[in-house]
Amino acid sequence: MALSSTQILLDYFDQQVSIDNCYVKVSSVKGSKIDAIAEVEIFNANKLRIDHRFYSFDVSMDGPNFIKQAYQFLKTLPEFSDAVDC
């Protein structure tokens, strides 16, 4: 599972750059019964990693696995509002 999304990043001059068709992958999830931290990698269309982020989110023991919950959480964030499953 992964997401496809347009991402806004800062260049070396602190100018915003929009990058279309980014591949967003949750590379790991570590946590407990209460919360977890997802490690997220973002790749451009040429499959070069352009960003690496960490997100903390609440988990549900009654929900799907933690990786699926991480993707569901990412879709609730403004920076992934246009994300679609791919």
For residue range 13-66, what is the model confidence (pLDDT) as tens digits? 999 999 999 999 999 999 999 999 999 999 999 999 999 999 999 999 988 899
pLDDT recorded at residue 20: 96
Across the strands, what pairs with 57? 36
* φ, ψ of residue 44 in degrees (nearest 5): -85, 180
Torsion of CA 55, 56, 62, 65, to 10 degrees: 30
pLDDT (0 to 100) of residue 63: 81
Q: What is the pLDDT of residue 1?
A: 86
pLDDT of residue 42: 97
pLDDT of residue 64: 87
The SS3 assignment for 79 reads helix
Cβ-contact 41, 49 below 8 angstroms = yes
Prediction pTM value: 0.89
pLDDT at site 76: 97
